[in-house]
Amino acid sequence: MSHQQMSMPMPDLSNAIMAQDEMGRPLIIVRDQSNKTKSSGLDALKSHIQAARQVSDILKTSLGPRGLDKILISPDGEINITNDGATILSEMQIENQIAKLLVELSKSQDDEIGDGTTGVVILAGALLDQALKLIEMGIHPIKVANGYEKASQIISSHLDSISDEINIDKLNIENNLLESSDLFKAAKTSLGSKIVNKNHNQFAKLAVESVLKITDFNRNDVDFELIKLQGKVGGSISDSKLINGVCIEKDFSHPQMNKNLNNVKIAILSCPFEPPKPKTKHKLEISNVDEFKNLQKFESNKFIQMIESIKNVGANLVICQWGFDDEANSLLLSNNLPAVRWVGGSDIESIAIATKGSIVSRFEDLTPEKLGYADKVYEVEFGTTRDKMIIIENNNTKIDTNKVNTVTNLIRGSNKMIVDESIRSLHDSICVVRNLIKNNKIVYGGGSVETSCSLKIMQEADKQKGIDQYAFRAFSQALDVIPMSLAENSGYNPIVELTKLKAAQVANNNPHLGIDCLGNNNNNMKDLFVIETFIGKKQQLLLATQLTRMILKINNVIISGKDQY
C-alpha cells in the first residue's frame, strides 16, 4: 500500500446507517451531506426576528390619525380597505410560523381590549429589532428576555403614577349633556384615525349611548352580546342611527298586513304554524272525497285553534321561526294578526331578549306572561330595490340601571367596504367606552406614554448591574418607535420630533406631552384630551413583552417531525 493511500482521511460515519442487501450481506449507507448545511441556533433566531419585523413594518404606516389605509384583496378577488391592525393581519397570507405569532398577538389584543391592535404589533417588532442587535453583540437571548421582563414590571408601576381618572357621570347622558361628558370625548378620540373621522361626533355618540343603555351599573359590567352592529348598503354614513331594539332583514308574511304597529305584544314561536303531521314511519291514506273533506276541515280547525290561542293571550304580532303556507297566511290576515316567518335562530333569540319575551315551542304553552313587548314594530324599505327590514323598537330612552336592553347600530354607507370599515371603527370606539366603564383610569396618547416610559427605563438602566442594563436601554429605544412612527406618518422628521419631545418632558417634568399629529399647535395631550384607556395600554405593553420573550427562547421550528431552516 502506498504512502498516499495510507494518509487518506477516514470517511465521516457519524450519520451512517448499517443495512443488509438481498443476500443478507452487511453494508454501510453514508448520507450525502454536501447540500445540507445546518444553521446554528443563532441564525435561526435571526431569521425568526426578521420575519416578525417585516410584519411589524407593514403596520407602521397605519398608526395614528394620519395613518394610511391598506387595500386587502382576498383569494376570491374581494377588495377590503382598512387601517385596523387586527383586520390587516387576519387577511394577510403569512407563511412564516413566527410571523403568525404576531397575528395571534393582534387578535389577542382585539379580543381582550378591542383597541390598540396596531400599536401592540409595532411595539413587539421594535422589541425584537433591539433584541437582535444585542444578540449580535454576543449577549445570550435568555439574558435579553429576562431584562425585558424586569423592564416591563417597572413600566407597569410607572403607568399607575402617570394615569388619571375620568368622571363616569350617567346623569349627563340622561340630561342630554352627552357631548360634554368624558366618555364622549374618549370615544371621539378613538375614531380620529378611522374612516368615519368626518362623522366622529355622530359615531362617538352612538358608541356612548350603545354602551350606557346596556350597562349594568351595579356591577360596572357590559355585555357585548346585547349590542348589535348591522350594516346596510345605501345612503351615507351620516344616515347611521341607533335603534333601541333589534332589526331583522325580513318582511311581513302578507303584503296587506299592517306594517306599523304600536304597543305590540309579540308571540315568539319556535313551533311550526301548521297542522300536526304523521310521524316519519306512518302514512295517511285517503280513499274517497268525504275523507279528504274531513282532513281539510281538520286542518282548517287546527289553524283556527292556533290563531285563537294566540289572540286569547292578547298577542297582536306573531314571529315564527318556521314557515307557514298560504292558507295559514290568509287566516292570519283575515284575523288582523300580522306575522313574520322564517326568522333565524339568532334573530329570534335577540328579539326575545329585546322584548323580554319567551320563546314558545308549543301553542299549548303560550301564556300572557311569555309574550314579548315592544313600543313600536314597523317595516322600512331601502333604495330602489325596495329591500325590506323590520324594526322592533322600545323608545324608553331613559337609562334604567336595573334593566338591560338590546340596542342595534344600523350603519349605512355607499358601498360594502365603507359599511364594513365603519362597523369596525364603531366596534373599536364601543370597546374604549366599555373599558372606561369597567376601569375609569386613563393615560394620554400621542406617544406621550411611550416617551415617558422610555425616559423612566433609561433612568433605571443606570441602576442595573451586568447585562440587564443593555436590555433596559434596548427596551427604552424600542418604546421610541411609537412616537417616531406617529411623527413620520404626520409628515414630521421623526428624529427631530422625538428629541424635542423627550427634552420637553424632562424640562417641564410633564409626562402628558406627545406628538401633535393634527397641527393643533399644542402638544399637551391632556389639554387636547387625546387619551387611551389604562387597561388597554397596560395590556398592550405586557402582551408585546411576553411575545418577545417567547420568540427569543425559540431556536428552531419543527413541522411534521422535520427541521425547518
Count other C-beta atoms under 10 Å from residue 470's C-beta: 19
Contact 473, 463 (CB under 8 A): no
Please give the biggest Cα pair distance in the chain. 118
Judged by DSSP in three states, 536 sits in helix
pTM: 0.77
Judged by DSSP in three states, 496 sits in helix
Amino acid identity at 216: D
Count, residues in the chain: 565
Domain 41-165+444-564 class in CATH: mainly alpha
Residue 190: all three cell numbers together: 378613538
Name the residue ranges covered by the structural domains of the chain: 41-165+444-564, 263-375
Contact 448, 512 (CB under 8 A): yes
pLDDT tens per residue, range 231-280:
888 888 888 889 888 999 888 988 888 889 999 999 999 887 776 666 66
Let me know if 18 is exposed, middle or buried by CB neighbors in 10 A (0-12, 13-18, 19+).
Answer: exposed
Range list of H helices, 314-412: 326-334, 345-355
- Which CATH topology does 263-375 take? GroEL (3.50.7)
Which are the contacts of 527, defined by CB distance < 8 A and separation ≥ 6?
none
Give the residue from 8, 124, 13, 154 showing the smallest Cα distance to 60: 124
Helix axes 289-312, 326-334, angle to 10 degrees: 50
pLDDT tens per residue, range 130-159:
998 898 888 888 899 999 999 999 998 999
Q: Say how far apart CA 421 and CA 438 lie, in whole Å.
A: 26
Q: Burial code of 513-547, b = ≥16 C-beta within 10 A, e = fewer? A: bbbbbeeeeebbbbebebbbbbbbbbbbbebbbbb
Mean pLDDT, 10 residues at a time, the chain of 565 residues: 46 53 58 42 74 84 84 82 81 78 83 81 91 88 90 91 78 56 81 76 87 80 84 86 89 88 90 70 74 79 84 90 82 88 86 88 87 90 81 65 71 86 87 86 89 92 85 92 90 91 92 86 85 88 90 73 50
Count other C-beta atoms under 10 Å from residue 167's C-beta: 9
Sign of CA dihedral 175, 180, 185, 186: negative
Say if strands 227-233 and 260-269 run parallel, antiparallel, or are unpaired: unpaired
Calculate the dihedral angle through the C-alpha atoms of 272, 278, 281, 287, rounding to the nearest 10 degrees.
-140
Q: Say how far apart CA 211 and CA 394 lie, in whole Å.
A: 16
**Bridge partners of residue 382, in order along the sequence:** 387
Residue 53: all three cell numbers together: 419585523
